[in-house]
Structure 1
Amino acid sequence: MRILLVEDEYRIAKALAEVLIDQNYVVDIASDGQVGWEFAKAFPYNLIVLDLMLPKLDGITLCRQLRQEGYSIPILLLTAKDTSTDKVIGLDAGADDYVVKPFDLQELMARIRALLRRGINILPSVFEWGKLRLDPSSCEVTYNGQAVPLTPKEYKILELFLRHSHQVLNRNEILKHIWSFEDPPGEETIKVHIRSLRQKLKYAGANSDFIETVYGLGYRLKQTF
């Protein structure tokens, strides 16, 4: 899942991004509101964590702008102003929740998880495809009960396929969901990750084409059940 963090305080942005990345989220950081706006238009985010006080375009204005343009992405505001007026303004602008700085990291992560669950409430909490099982809450993957050890990128790719289990995903769609703006892969990188993922699933007992290539279009999960 992909999160946009719009925060101009480098120390806070870096620390929060590291925690999110450790929990298998893809994170883009924008240091001002205008860059945040450009990122939001360019990439499919599952959540925006948005500081209230930003250069160029403040958080309230950016929040309003996103809602006026029809973006329904959950928005969590970070604010140093613990007053009811500021909270009301933020919620009225279209924010879904807010956390006051300095924030408790565990509380912030809990609120992030809650907003992400709200955004995907039509999806199951555990994903299954035949004998494959992926639990997003623990990041555990098993096939026929056997643990499948995956790298963070392999896990994210497999989760993406399960969230879009009846769709063909091309390389550009995989790229947009899995890699951050600052971490673009080389042309063959996606192929390498798909190949490795197939090998690990095969080792656990899956067919070698569990993730099948649809020539000229992309990849999808093969239905064998």
Structure 2
Amino acid sequence: MQKDIKIAVIEDDENLRFLVSNRLEKEGYKIVEASDGQQAIDLVLAEQPNIVLLDWMMPGKEGSEVCTELRSKGFENIIIMMTAKSQDLDKIDAYNFGVSDYVTKPFNMDVLVAMLESKVKYILNEKPDFSKFGNMEHQPNIHSLIKDGKKTELTILENRILLYFLENKNKVISRDDLMMEVWGYNSDVNTRTLDMHIVRLRKKIESNADRPEFLQTVRGVGYRFNEE
């Protein structure tokens, strides 16, 4: 079925670009392609795709530079970074250059398609996904937490962590499972990095981060999102 959605696939690996583009065309998306940074900027500004799949490492300009320039020139649509290096994911948060989400290589094509479908629902103004807990509302599509009518921005990683916990309320989640879910299966992050993100997230959702009501530590195992 043809979807009225245009996706730009920006990837210098010709084989991967073909595989992704071919699969997404079969899913009904209109595809435009580029293989380097400058070509990507020209293409996206001219074509105005709904979603950009953008490789991190490219000749000429890195994905971060491409994203920054596109945002500075007024492009506001979804940009999803494709990265092979899990350690780069912290840079995606730290640099804050305007990426909407990310997917780690090598990725399962079905997972990529499902991720894009969730973005498309948001684009088409279907009922947005959100979860409520306590006096808060999590809006994952815009990386935000609404608390007492005030909006708090979440980093990409905080957003993914909270979304996973809200999908698994009251379940004990091991650190390994959480790292696999958030960083991807080729991840080489350590538990200290995970714990640091948990601390930052607690400061945003808890009344007292030192005595968390929701995001609780299960000693020797991992964490549990508590909501009775």
TM-score, structure 2 length as denominator? 0.51
Q: Distance in 1 between matches of 2:56 and 2:34?
A: 13
Query: Aligned pair 1:81/2:82, yes or no?
Result: no
Partner of 1:71, secondary structure, is coil
Contact 2:11–2:34 (CA under 8 A) maintained in structure 1:
yes
Query: Which of the residues 63, 66, 81 maps onto 1:62?
Result: 66
Change (3 A) 1:116 1:79: same
Q: Distance in 2 between matches of 1:19 and 1:39?
A: 20
Query: Aligned pair 1:17/2:25, yes or no?
Result: no
Identity percentage over the alignment?
29
Per-residue deviation, 1:89: 4.0
Partner of 1:157: none
Query: Which of the residues 95, 102, 109 maps onto 2:99?
Result: 95
Per-residue deviation, 1:41: 1.4
Partner of 2:32, secondary structure, is strand
Considering only aligned residues, what root-mean-square deviation do their CA atoms show, in Å?
1.9
Matching of residues 181-220 of structure 1 within 5 Å: none
Partner of 1:155: none
Partner of 1:95, secondary structure, is coil
Q: Distance in 2 between matches of 1:81 and 1:87?
A: 11
Partner of 2:76: 72
Partner of 2:119, secondary structure, is helix
Matching of residues 1-225 of structure 1 within 5 Å: 1-83=5-87, 84-89=89-94, 92-121=96-125
Q: Distance in 1 between matches of 2:30 and 2:6?
A: 5
How many residues are treated as equivalent by the alignment?
123
Partner of 1:12, secondary structure, is helix
Segments of 4+ in structure 1 off by > 4 A? none
Per-residue deviation, 1:86: 2.8
Per-residue deviation, 1:47: 0.5
Partner of 1:176: none
Work out which structure has the larger RCO, using CA pairs closer than 8 Å and 6 or more positions apart in sequence.
1
Listed one character per residue, the Cα deviations across residues 41-95 of structure 1 (whole Å, up to 9, x for unaligned) are: 11131110000001111100010111111111101100011124233246x1111
Partner of 1:24, secondary structure, is coil
Change (3 A) 1:104 1:73: same
Partner of 2:125, secondary structure, is coil
Give the unaligned 5+ runs of structure 1.
125-225
